[in-house]
Amino acid sequence: MSNVGIVIVSHSPLVAEGTADMVRQMVGDEVPLAWCGGNGHGGLGTSVEAIMGAIDKAWSEAGVAILVDLGGAETNSEMAVEMIGEPRSHKIIVCNAPIVEGAVMAATESSGGASLKEVVATAHELSPS
Amino acid sequence: MAAADFSRLIAAAADTIAAHAEELTALDQAIGDGDHGLNMKRGFEAVRAEADAFAAKPLPDALKAVGTKLVMTVGGASGPLFGTLFMALGKDLPAAPDRDGLTAAFGKAIEAVAARGKSQVGQKTMLDVLQPVYEALAQGKTAGEIAKAADKAAEATVPMRALRGRASFLGERSIGHMDAGARSTALLVRAVAEAIEGN
């Protein structure tokens, strides 16, 4: 699939899964999609290992946009991208956008065949800067 | 550094985190999400479980292995931050470092942590302990003096207002509490300093 992949990373697996459900409702199976949430030990948090797994699952040669909730999700996602390393890391971007709105907007943009840059820009438009 | 010495440093670090896990969690509950003690304990116990295998490696590789393990097991923002500290130390430390080599590598590691956390000194974070420790290292202070500098620096985060992390959401209300990451950093510095001094 050549559409940009979307990864959703929340501290809460319920938020991540619910956000993914909302994305699916908009774009069906046209967009590679994966989510992860929780610290891997049953608590709230984010796991670098789980994020790396989600990136693999949603991988697309067009790239992957990651939507995160709070700070630790962003820090762990950036760490995961760094550990995946080059060349794939150049095609993975952690978006600065609200997680639910960002994921739905980014996926909708992706489903139309937009580039990674365009998908990320759409998500970023949601954030006042 | 002999493998036995590195194992001892890991044990000292894991012991102090385990002994203070509840205190760290209480600090984090006051102005954060309250998982710091448990997260750090999980990470350092995972490191302890593989201490002998890590210690068998050359020092730079051993430090990188510790950092990677922390990244993979801590499960909060502290994982990448403390993991980056150790990974960056391993990247820049010579196999048999003298004080100058250690100081230079520590300085680079602090820069890496600052970049990872998009933070800087004065924002009520672990950097507020790391920077004075770096300065004490550079001034040739003894291990005991460095440990004291770290404790004092952690105390000095109490009146600060948090500008990064979950605590920053509280604004003015973050004033009056010690930063949990600063406290755990000071605990680790003291544990390592005392283990080295005990040699």
Task: Look at residue B165 in the predicted model and tell me its pLDDT.
Answer: 87
Task: Look at residue A1 in the predicted model and tell me its pLDDT.
Answer: 54
Sign of the torsion angle spanned by Cα atoms B124, B130, B135, B136? positive
Q: How many other CB atoms are found less than 10 A from the CB of residue B199?
A: 7
Give the three-class secondary structure for A34: strand
Is residue A17 a part of any domain in this protein?
yes
B43 touches chain A (CB under 8 A): no
Domain boundaries, chain B: 3-197
Contacting residues for A109 by C-beta, under 8 A, at least 6 apart: A4, A118, A119, A122
Task: Look at residue B30 in the predicted model and tell me its pLDDT.
Answer: 92
Residue-number span of the structural domain to which A118 is assigned: 5-124
Only one residue has tokens 């962003």, namely: A74
Closest alpha carbon to A78 in B113, B31, B161 = B113
Closest alpha carbon to B118 in A108, A74, A51, A117 = A74
Cα atoms in the Cβ-side hemisphere of radius 13 Å centred on A123: 30
Is residue A129 a part of any domain in this protein?
no
What whole-number distance in Å separates Cα of residue B187 and Cα of residue B25? 14
Is residue A36 a part of any domain in this protein?
yes
Task: Look at residue A128 in the predicted model and tell me its pLDDT.
Answer: 75
Is residue A80 a part of any domain in this protein?
yes
Only one residue has tokens 């003298």, namely: B98
pLDDT band at B199 (very low <50, low <70, confident <90, very high): low
What whole-number distance in Å separates Cα of residue A42 and Cα of residue A101? 26
Task: Look at residue B42 in the predicted model and tell me its pLDDT.
Answer: 95
Q: Which residues of chain A have pLDDT under 70?
A: 1, 129
Cα dihedral A15, A18, A19, A20, rounded to 10, equals 130
User: Mean of the per-residue pLDDT values for chain B?
Assistant: 94
What whole-number distance in Å separates Cα of residue A19 and Cα of residue A66? 13
Using one digit for the tens of pLDDT, what is the confidence trace for B131-168?
A: 999 999 999 999 999 999 999 999 999 999 999 988 99
Task: Look at residue A129 in the predicted model and tell me its pLDDT.
Answer: 63
Contacting residues for A39 by C-beta, under 8 A, at least 6 apart: A45, A46, A47, B35, B39, B75, B76
Using one digit for the tens of pLDDT, what is the confidence trace for A28-58?
A: 999 999 999 998 888 899 999 999 999 999 9
- Cross-strand bridge partners of residue A10: A37
Task: Look at residue B166 in the predicted model and tell me its pLDDT.
Answer: 86
Nearest neighbour of A48 by CB, restricted to B38, B42, B72: B72
Is position A90 annotated as part of the catalytic site? no
**Which residues of chain B have a CB within 8 Å of the CB of A83?**
71
**Which residues of chain A have a CB within 8 Å of the CB of B164?**
71
Query: Average pLDDT for residues B25-45, to the nearest whole number?
Result: 94
Paired sense of beta strands A33-37 and A5-10, if any: parallel
The answer to whether B17 and B187 are in contact (CB under 8 A) is: yes
Nearest neighbour of A41 by CB, restricted to B42, B81, B166: B42
Using one digit for the tens of pLDDT, what is the confidence trace for B40-56?
A: 999 999 999 999 999 99
Closest alpha carbon to B178 in B159, B198, B152 = B159
- Cross-strand bridge partners of residue A66: A7, A94
Cβ pair B166:A78 closer than 8 A: no
CATH of the domain at A61: 3.40.50.510
pLDDT band at B198 (very low <50, low <70, confident <90, very high): confident
Using one digit for the tens of pLDDT, what is the confidence trace for B57-114?
A: 999 999 999 999 999 999 889 999 999 999 999 999 988 889 999 999 999 999 999 9
Nearest CA in chain B to A81: B80
Nearest neighbour of B79 by CB, restricted to A44, A70, A76: A76
What whole-number distance in Å separates Cα of residue B33 and Cα of residue B150? 24
Domain count, chain A: 1
Q: What predicted TM-score, i.e. pTM, was given to this entire model?
A: 0.93
Is B3-197 a domain of CATH 1.25.40.340?
Answer: yes
Percent of the residues in chain B that have a pLDDT greater than 70, as a whole number = 99
Contacting residues for B107 by C-beta, under 8 A, at least 6 apart: B134, B138
Cβ pair A45:B75 closer than 8 A: yes
